[in-house]
Chains A and B, each alone.
Chain A
Amino acid sequence: MVYLTRKAEFSASHYYHNPELSGEENRRLFGKCNNPNGHGHNYTLEVTVRGNVDPRSGFVVDLKQLKDVLNREVLEAMDHRFLNKEVPEFFTRIPTTENLAIAIWQRLAPKLKQAQLHRVRVYETPDLFADFYGEA
């Protein structure tokens, strides 16, 4: 079993707000992240797949196919977007780094053919990242 990780970067804006809570509760819970005009990050995404090395190609996965899926499913949908308003998952879920990792996993997992998705890691800043392994 070999693990292979592909990195990508995207920039997006978001804000944290739960409509079930009062304005005051939202401000207390989410602090600066509750500003309704949003704010942005340069996100770094690491997608790790695992699989056996194909004896014919020497690959765990066709990197070009992985890159195409990443571009289509994640970057085209999220790069230079306001996550709350333009990415359907976040019409109802708060676009925290945790939920971004889950949403990206859910977009990628059904599209990857050869290799098995192992981990999605999303860096919001170099000092903060979330990991999702598909665990319930």
Chain B
Amino acid sequence: MKAYLTRRYMFSASHRLHSPAMSAEENAVTYGKCNNPHGHGHNYRLEVTVSGTVDAQTGMVCNLADLDGFVQREILARFDHQNLNALAQFANAVPTTENLCISIYDILQRGFRLAHLEKVRFEETMMNSFEYAGGKEPKF
């Protein structure tokens, strides 16, 4: 039987939305308050959804301790309490939550082999959320 497992994590980071491809005025119009040159921060809620056949011996899609360990090591340790603009992932990309979704999806997709990655979802604030399923339509 195929089941889907979702785990939520939290990290805090700062960013500034600014595109070198736009003029100062275009940046100010496009990004508004998020273009403040000093940056600002969020408590990001990250949801990771994996899927697979429920193992008859363990009753699990994958061991949560393994997923937690991977996310702690490869994601939280690298992103928590950082300035996203200063990270290699955002050297050439604006650290919007859309791009953050794609970046985190790619890390999981490349490195986590113990279940199938379905989707990454982010809540930047309580009022907005973003999802990325590797270009597929996320499962509702």
Contacts and interface: CB of A to CB of B under 8 A. Distances in A.
B59 A99 contact: yes
Given A29-B63, A93-B59, A102 B1 contact: yes
Interface residues of A, number: 28
B128 interface: no
Given A98-B60, A130-B3, A131-B4, 8 more contacts: A16-B58, A20-B57, A29-B58, A98-B59, A102-B1, A127-B7, A131-B3, A136-B2
A31 B63 CA distance: 10
Given A3-B140, A21-B57, A29-B63, A98 B6 contact: no
A115 B5 CA distance: 25
Contact of B54 (A18, A99, A119, A129): A99
Contacts of B49: 131
Contact of A96 (B8, B60, B139): B60
A55 B114 CA distance: 47
A117 interface: no
A18 B57 contact: yes
What's the interface size class on B, roughly?
A: 20 to 34
B18 to A, nearest CB: 33
Contacts of A132: 1-4
Top 4 nearest A-B pairs (CB, nearest first) are: A94-B59, A96-B59, A131-B4, A127-B8
A44 interface: no
15 contacts: A16-B58, A20-B57, A29-B63, A95-B59, A96-B59, A97-B5, A98-B61, A99-B54, A102-B3, A128-B6, A128-B7, A128-B8, A129-B6, A131-B4, A131-B6
